[in-house]
Structure formats: C-alpha cells, structure tokens
Amino acid sequence: MDKITVKRCPFKIFVNQTGYYPDSRKIAVMNFPCESFRIIDSGEVCRYEGKTELFGYDENSGDTVYRADFTDFTEEGTYRVTSGNEKSAEFSIAENVYDKVFGDVLKAFYYLRCGCGLEEKYAGVYKHGKCHTSPALLYDDKKTETDVSGGWHDAGDYGRYVTAGACAAAHLLYAYKMFPTAFEKRQLNIPESGMPDILAECRYELEWLMKMQREDGGVYHKVTTERHAPFVMPEDDNGQLYVFAVSSSATADCGAVCALASGIYEKYDKSFSEGLRITAEKACLWLEKNPEFIGFKNPDGCNTGGYGERDDYSNRFWLYAEMYALTGDKKYHDKIKKSLENNFPLTAMGYTEMGGLGALAYLLCGYETDKVLAKQFSDNFRREAERLKNISDKCGYGCAMEEKDFYWGSNMLVMVRGMIFAVSDYFEKKSTYKNYAAAQLNYLLGVNPTGYSYVTGNGEFRCNYPHLRPANADGIDECIPGMVSGGPNRFPGDRAAEMLIPKGTPPMKCYADNVDCYSLNEITIYWNSSAVFVLGYLCGGITKS
C-alpha cells in the first residue's frame, strides 16, 4: 500500500456515509452559507426539498455550521444531499442500513487474530500465514519459556496487552449480553461454530488471556517483542517474544472479564466456563495477597506499548462486581463496598478506568443487590448521559465532545459516550438518548468536518491508510475493512502528524489519513469494540418491560 499525504475531502455537505434508518433522525451538516437543500437519487432526480437552518459557530471545528433536517424523508433508496453546487457523499436509507458496517467492525477482530494463519475462505485477499507461534521468554530472566500464543493483535503493532484485551472483550460481551438480538444471527464467516459468532470470536481472546495467568494467579501485563516490528506481515515478524511482568491492573482486568465470560459461556461449554471461573478466582486470591498497586512500566530498551495506569481501584472494583454477579458470594459484595471508598469514575468504560463496567456488572446481577447502591449506579449513567446530551446539543456536528477530549484515540471516547447513552436507555427502558447515540455513530461515519468516514471500507470518502502493519505490508490498496481509526488529536504526537497538522488547527480537524500518523490514525481493538457496542444498541434495540 502506497503512503499518501492528505487527501482532501471532495464534499462540503457531511452525512453518515453508511446511511440512516427510515424512521431515524437525519441531519446533514454544511460549513458554507446556504438557505435550502435537496435530496437527489442516483439518477439525480429530486426526491425531497427543504430549508436549512443556521446552527452558528462551532468551536471544536472552527466552522459556521448550517444544518439540513430531512428526518421526515423515509423512502428507502440511495441518495445525496445537494445545495447549490455542493453535494454530499452517497448514503442509503434502509432498514438494513447498518448491516455491512456492523459486520465489518466485528469481523475486524478475526483479521487481528494472532498465533494462527488466516485462510482465504475466511479472510479472502487478506489471508496470511501463521504468526507468533514460537515460545515466549519471561523478560525478567530471559530463560524460562512459556506458550502465550493466540489472542488478538492489539493495534497497529503486533503486541498483545492484557488490560486492552480485557476491555475490548468486555465491550463485546456486554454488547451481546444486553442486545442479544443484534448478534444471535449475525454471521461473520469465521472457522468456529456452535455458538453466536461474536462469542466464538471473544473465546479466541479469552483463551489467550487465561494463558497469561501465572500459577499463583498473577497475570502478566503483555507479550511483545522488545521493540516494535517493522512494517512487515505478521508471519514475517520473527523477533523473540517476551512476556513482561505481572501487574495488579492486568490481574484484576483478566479476572473480571473471565468472570463475566464464565456466566455467558456456561450454556455453550460448561468446561470452558469452569476454566474461566477458576481463572477469575485465582486472580482474586492473588490480589488479596497483593493489596498494593503494582503498576507496569516498560524496562529500559523496550519501546512497545506500556498501557500504564495510575492505580488499580476501578480494576479491582470491576473484578469484585463481576465475581458477585457470577457467584452471589457476599464476600465479593463486601469488597465492592470497600472498593467504593476510593475515588474513581463509575461510568468510565475505557481501558484506564473500568468503573462503568463494574457498575454494569452490578446492575445486571441476578443476585440480590443493595437498592441504594444500584440506584446510585444507574443514576450516574443517567446524569452522565444528560451531561453529554448538553454537550452534543452545543456541537454543530452533534458530537458529545469538548475541546479537551480530542486526544489520542478520540474516536474511542466518542464511541464510549455513545455507549453511555445506550446504557442509560437500557436501564430506563426508554429510548431517550437513542438519537444521541446515533449522532456519535454519525460523527464516526462522516458527519464531521474532515468529511471522512473513520471506518475503513465503509463510505464513499473513508480512511484507507491507517497505522496498521498488515494493511501497509500486504500490497493491497484497499484496506482491511472495519478498522476504526483513532481520529482527531489536538496534540499530534508523531513527526508526520506534526508536519501535516498546522498549529492552531481546530481540534476536530486535527486528522490525516496517513500510515505514518500513528497519533491520529492507528487502530486498536478497544476502539473497534466500543463501536460494536453502539451498533449493537442501534441494531438490537431495548427489550421493554
């Protein structure tokens, strides 16, 4: 794949390039003065006309924004929005409008599998040979060998990291648990069978996570080579693999996601479910013996991802909440309450803060819960959703982000905020925030001032050159589909981004579709997983009592 600089967007009218449900809110955004708009079909026949509204100045984009609302246009088909000489990318209105992008962002995990080859019948042109199957050495002694094959490549590199992997798997498992109808019949064309494909894919990661646990219950933080591989295919990355030191956050996160998974997989594979439960219990015992925070920092000479954290309060809380949800054992309920003496956010669901996942575990628990505590958790989600709604209302593009939020991987935060809207609706048994969850997806898929769909393979004007080694090394111009780009970052952190993004660029425009811009355009599994959750909500809906 050839490297490029910056491709200019050919459109000044921004739409969700995948499209819209017939009955959904539909708003196109313009950044030039206009009074009216038209919807035209593929034959350029006008199918709808309307007046635009001046939204006003949007700080995060630096644009004066006009909006075209065509919510009441519901006829299925393929269209563009036009105004004067300007037009939008093509989009669809249909009941199955999300089918392709949903399948792609979920199938992306298969393409990121490590420790196996990807066969042509499952991967098509993106097939490759077996990778990273040799034994790894413990970094601390560089003598002891261990088998830690499997799992997902985490990001643009070939490292595998426990905290990131646990977060991504939890997003997927909760998406399935809360919105099962969106997944039960969704086929991904992967080798496994006997359970919904999303669970088969998650199992691939969970089996690796279990391998990362020591006999005493501690969990190694990561497995990587000592330095990032060059831009080669995974089977050509033959550097020595190392397993790095145990951390308390990795131990808690591994235990938590295994406890969550144990309850879900019980009806499909009791033996696997039992193994997950044992892994979680061993993690709890290790943490009891090691009550202090044991962080992780790369040793000298290692440049692969660190995924360091400041404390493990939310990680332990998440573990104890999942263990109580799995077992109903009062001792874990006591640990939940003890954990809450520490200060951490109870709606966060990214890899650094797991409080929201712990709150989810408690709220979905089948055992008796403290009504006051449960109300506190659900109220937190509702209040946060209301706060984010107000931010979204102030943004011309409908994005629930403030200036300070546009940092490395900002698109993950956009999707996690979509998750918060979905979670609040789930527990309220209403669709109060459905339009706001959809607005975050709209932003990801083209309703943003760069004009890009930030999901590879989806949209007429889409990112195609992410910082992703196999996508660059495979010689195929069209990127592996379904990869979510990190997105705008007001603090460009690599030389290419610093050269391409002029100082003073509004935060929402600090983006370039360039393989060298890892601080703007890398991918990771937990950016994809949050998008899967939002799509699960929008496609699966809420079961109302």
- Could you list the active site residues? 157, 467, 513, 522
Q: How many CB atoms lie within 10 A of CB 155?
A: 25
What is the Cα–Cα distance from 464 to 466, expressed in whole angstroms? 6
Give the DSSP letter string of 134-188: SPEEETTTS--EE----SB--BSSS-EEHHHHHHHHHHHHHHHHH-GGGTTT---
**Two tokens at 146?**
């261990």
**What separation in angstroms does the CA of 17 have from each of 83, 310, 436, 440, 459?**
17, 39, 17, 13, 5
Radius of gyration of the chain from Cα atoms? 23
What is the Cα–Cα distance from 471 to 104, expressed in whole angstroms? 15
What is the Cα–Cα distance from 471 to 10, expressed in whole angstroms? 24
What is the Cα–Cα distance from 531 to 537, expressed in whole angstroms? 10
**What separation in angstroms does the CA of 47 have from each of 18, 41, 50, 74, 75?**
19, 7, 11, 11, 9
What is the Cα–Cα distance from 374 to 377, expressed in whole angstroms? 5
Residue 124 carries which DSSP code? G
Residues making up the chain, counted from first to last = 545
3-state secondary structure 209-245: HHHCECCCCCEECEEECCCCCCCCCHHHCCCCCEECC
